[in-house]
Structure 1
Amino acid sequence: MSSFLELKSFYKHINREPESGESGVGHFNIFKVEDLMISRDRPATYSRRNFFKVSLVNGHSKIHYADQSIEVTGSSLVFTNPMIPYHWERIDEQQSGYVCIFTETFFSRFGGIKDYPVFQSPGAAVINLAPEDVCIYKNLFEKMLAELEGDYAFKYDFLRTMLLELLHSAQKMVPAAGQPHTGSNAAERITALFAELLERQFPIELSNQVIRLNAPSAFAKQLNIHVNHLNKALKETTGQTTSQLISERIAQEAKILLKSTNWTVNEIAWGLGFEEPNHFSSFFRNAAGMTPRQFRQTDVD
């Protein structure tokens, strides 16, 4: 079971040489979807990549994450984060569009790429496009491709600017995704702070990494409020209790780690804050309806 798909492996898989974007500025490249010779019969994997990807795709597909599947129909923008494992299943034989890949280093001078909402969760990562929007993004990808093939001395700076334009344009189409709560309602502010603390602990990237906050009392202490106050605020804004929200997020990360790493169940349990592996197994069975080992052996969730 692989843990990371490296850039060199990606290029080998599509029978290409990594000829672009390796000039000490990180890596950047663009392809036409129809030129990528990737077999549709390739078995499902949930390996993490070491590069980001933005795709403009036209055609019927399914994107399988460890904990959910998202169907893509028509024309869509799809943003993939290297730390969120996925497998792309092509339904239609004919697919068209563009794929842009780049490393975190390429984008670093513009800040943390991981902080952009479209890269933070599968729910915000797939944006269905109206016909008038397709032309706008197609033109932007074509402009980036033409610039990449040109000889302008500062083309990579220009490409970063166009990539940033693409990210912000896309995020404006889903303003609810990942936006901070700015209202005066105290429950909303508490919910936003809780969500930030919860997400800050993920993804778990090392087998010796352990989350610190995995109980309502720990979050309440960090937020300097009573646990009953925290629970009331979350129940009011989300309809779920603090324990439910924590459990759902830990279960989601557990599924990702079981699918994308070769860590033992004990190592995963420890990383998720369970001191006893049997407690983790019981927790996971209640959340997923099967044991961690049984889930790891399934092809697709």
Structure 2
Amino acid sequence: MQFIDLAEIEVVAGKGGDGMVAFRREKYVPAGGPAGGNGGWGGSVILVASDRLQTLLDFRYARIFKAENGKKGGPNNCTGAKGSDRLIEVPCGTLVTDVDTGEIIGDLTSNGQTLCVAQGGKGGLGNKHFLSNRNRAPEHALPGLEGEARRLLLELKLIAEVGIIGLPNAGKSTLIASVSSARPKIANYPFTTLVPNLGVVRKPTGDGTVFADIPGLIAGASQGVGLGHEFLRHIERTRVLLHLIDVTAEDPIADYQTIQQELEAYGQGLIARPQIIALNKIDAMDEETLELIRAELQNISHQPVYTVSAVSRQGLDTLIQKIWSILDAQELSV
């Protein structure tokens, strides 16, 4: 399945039905008067958030969505039928922006949430509406109004409570595979992960927490370099960042600083997000060197540094418990 997280579409609401010119012509009803009904409202275009969708792939080929026009007014003061609304399902986490004005129209974050993005046109008035003492037999009606038309940018931002970040080959995919049932592609070369991976990790209480493995960031990602720029948006909604560092890398300290600089440059409050730092692949490092790197990283970051091996699961229980404690503390403070 392709992962599409940006899509531009056009939505066109239905035109209102025209009003009708009609008169009552019944036996034994002299001077029946005007009886033309109003036109019906045009249908609206409505986005509906669905947790069954994970990508915007459906909008890659279908880009224009139209609602039904309202029906014309009828005789005997009958109002025309309203046009059917056009319902469009989008993934939870979709941000909707008007392309022409840049205005953010809405943010669909929960399953079943709806957003009207194009209002149907009002139906025209029938000649019954224009009856007056001066005009007892009006012979005109109004046409229905056009529905709204808009160009929209749909931007998917994954909804995950924990975002796993780090340079390519830090072991993010291996970690998410170890703690959840997700099965991302894993290989011994950079940029194995080309799309974000989601995994659900169960708490002891049975509740599930969504972890997102964000594709590798590199220096300059916030300015559009590499893959990371395409996916930085997906950690904007996370409550906790898990910064994974390859302890066997040439310079783990520099790797840590690179990611911090990119978070700060990107903005959106990411640098201030609660962050847990973990050195990965400790099973491939001697204990003395590991402690030196850990001590230096703690001195720079001013916070505890955890040591884990995603392959052998060493230290993962302690790391996960720390994540639970931060999430629980956030829930209590709300």
TM range (shorter): under 0.3
Rg larger for = 2
Q: TM-score by structure 1 length?
A: 0.24
Structure with the largest fraction of strand:
2
Structure with the largest fraction of helix:
1
Q: TM-score by structure 2 length?
A: 0.22
Relative contact order: is structure 1 or structure 2 higher (C-alpha 8 Å, sep ≥ 6)?
1
